[in-house]
Structure 1
């Protein structure tokens, strides 16, 4: 069973995530749970325990005597106490997964818990580097943000953000900044490269987040509508591209050669600069669209043959690869917009707003592809014949700005007042 927070409880969750943003599980208390101290260990709760190395229910034998006991912090408005949790499987054929909270009935009699309360479970690393569970009652006896900080501290992302926050404030109030590359023609990446230089972040094509693998920086200037999420080349095995190009490293170029159009800027080359959306909102005239195939855990890149009208898979991405890239690049993200102007032959940027997001949800990512809110940009050109020669500009997954709040749950506007 999945538990949904009421609006006031969700506000508490949002406050917790301003401090720490590890995985979490929710459980709403029923009278039977409290009376028998027999709480359901749902799949999300079990996954949380397993990922933290605290308990693996698949390894627990049936019967309460075979359970695993672990210490936890119960953070409340009247103080933080240590409680013991026991994870066990019932002595029946199914071996139902259950757990108990020490002195739960006493806590109800004391008013610390009530029927219908929603409990928040998560874990953090203590001073000894060990994962420890903490519990917060989102409905009754709820601690303040300061009390939570005092009990378990900040996570790494929050600490890093607090560290760079003064520099971000300085950049936003600092006026116009010269393009970090100096004079020259404008490139879309200039606004981001200049910001990274101001933040003393080494400009590179790393696979994880820009700042210590914790915070990604995404910036855009005027005229840019979509926000870039990440780049990830598709797979081609079993597609027409694989049959004509045996070298996997060359298949992106082969794709542009096969499906591209006559390049206006580059004679004897084919270009392919298109945005690809869902079938209902393909957003291109070349017959391409994205298909989320839940049965096979892939997102397919489909092409409609203009003559035969056959819908053919030309490339695809595995769910696991997309999920890893999304989570690696966006544990948290600074979304920064900038104005632009020319000062002589130097392009300048004035950074004027910052949004902060954390922890994207992969299932939402897939749903936004289906809705046409997340798209894929193919950007490159190559020779028509012979050796591949041209340029790939980094084919990228992009999102409409108004859909970011859905993907990340909440977007915070950073204020320095």
Structure 2
């Protein structure tokens, strides 16, 4: 069977193949081209039009595409129903609305065949969107019950015949009372990431607005407005027109922004900062912690405690975390002194929900030009509604860790702590947030 793919998608396939087979990129590109009936990548690209090329797929590849489409729809949180079209259906321009589809249409408030009378005069026509390999077409869907055949429910999408073949599986999904129709066997829905994102956020204009602003500022590298660990976040917020403040509330109209550099070590991202419950702890302040377990700064003599603490083992300062799920508490323990501070699980969950009801986790590549940092935005992961009761179990599993950043000035004795920060690696976000969605800001 022939269908179309975008050059962008095929390049990504080649990139994945390069990693899988440990081959050079040009070799991977040629392997992808050969897979789809071309002699070489150069031959494939010569046949491309408007960034797309016609390819030949085998039956096995079609099944893979079918499954990939279903998985992607599920990833974006889009519920759907499926229907297999027959040769007779294509010829007569009719499809039986099977029970699962009828139930789906009722639950979505789109159409109820039980309330519909038989006959042509009671046919219902509604607008719909037919997603094809080339573009999305504005069509109409017909829903009716014929006088014959006991009034068995029927459905048909106008103009569908030229985009299907017998035994293709169609999927139907509804957003804002508009029906979308997709041939799972021939159309790669990943070519329509913009559409998927907007469908997922159809009721969230703020997320669309922020996404569009990031697309705009990602067109050119951003020159850093300052130095230090927070430079990338401050620079992106400045580019978005946001004013720096110390509020614990989310940054952009209720959406939290977390920005990080892309590194080989996959730097952890801050979830939130939260001090212990001092009134229930052995040590009563950050100063007592740094005085007990800190170390002198070799440059100025300040007392510091900059370290990561996890459940796995005691760190160089003799500190580790202990999670008590039975009593809903997280402790910090010293290998000699025992338990020194405690966090209440309820307070930690409240901070998570307060900070990350909705978040854009922005990633960027860093380039140094004439000694100055420039940030090229790579993309962002969008999360909503964290599974707060997974927080303590993830700390116990070592997925979420804690960082101290405490400093006591030698001259004044003034103590400050930026955290303690509870952190997580970007690749582990899906363990805390349902269906995180990645949106690329890198355009070919």
Out of 422, 428, 436, the residue aligned to residue 411 of structure 1 is 436
Matches for 1:260-299 after TM superposition, within 5 Å: 260-267=294-301, 269-278=302-311, 280-282=312-314, 284-299=315-330
Q: Deviations over 1:212-241 (max 9, x none)?
A: 22x111111254611111111111224332
Change (3 A) 1:415 1:11: closer
**1:247-396 alignment runs, 5 A limit:** 251-267=285-301, 269-278=302-311, 280-282=312-314, 284-305=315-336, 312-383=338-409, 388-396=413-421
Counterpart CA distance in 1 for 2:434 and 2:293 is 37
Q: 1:16 touches 1:145 (CA, 8 Å); kept in 2?
A: no
Equivalent residue number for residue 207 of structure 1? 248
Do structure 1's residue 161 and structure 2's residue 207 form an aligned pair? Answer: yes
Deviation string 1:276-299 (CA, Å, 9 cap, x unpaired) is: 101x245x2222111221232211
| 2:173 equivalent in structure 1 | 144
For residue 8 of structure 1, report the CA deviation from its aligned partner.
Answer: 11
Secondary structure (helix, strand or coil) at the match of 1:240 reads coil
In 2, distance between residues paired with 1:165 and 1:81? Answer: 41
Could you tell me whether the CA contact under 8 Å between 1:270 and 1:382 is conserved in 2? yes
Alpha-carbon distance between aligned partners in 2 of 1:257 and 1:397, rounded to the nearest angstrom: 22
CA distance in 2, matches of 1:173, 1:81: 52
May I ask how many residue pairs the two structures share in their alignment? 277
Match of 1:106 in 2: none
User: Any gaps of 5 or more consecutive residues in structure 1?
Assistant: 1-6, 19-72, 83-109, 113-141, 243-250
In the other structure, the counterpart of 1:233 is 275
Q: TM-score, normalised by structure 1?
A: 0.58
Alpha-carbon spacing, 1:363–1:327, altered in 2? closer, same or farther (3 Å): same
Distance 2:359 2:152 in 1: 40
Could you report, residue by residue, the CA deviation over 1:100-122 in whole angstroms, capped at 9, with x for unpaired residues? Answer: xxxxxxxxxx999xxxxxxxxxx
Query: Displacement, 1:272?
Result: 0.6
Who is 1:50 aligned against? none
* Structure 2 counterpart of 1:90: none
Separation in 2, partners of 1:301, 1:74: 49
- The superposition leaves residues 304-356 of structure 1 with CA deviations (integer Å, 9 ceiling, x where unpaired) of 11xxxx5x221111112111110111111111112223333532222122211
RMSD of aligned C-alpha atoms? 3.5
Equivalent in 162, 171, 189 of residue 230 of structure 2: 189
> For residues 16 and 413 of structure 1, do their structure 2 counterparts lie closer, same or farther at Cα, with a shift above 3 Å needed?
closer
Residue 165 of structure 1 aligns to a residue whose secondary structure is helix
1:180 aligns with 2:225: yes
- In 1, the alpha carbon distance for the partners of 2:204 and 2:235 equals 24
Partner of 1:55: none
Aligned 8 A contact 1:15 1:145 in 2: no
TM-score, with normalisation over the residues of structure 2?
Answer: 0.55
Q: Which moved more, 1:217-226 or 1:190-199?
A: 217-226
Matching residue of 1:218: 258
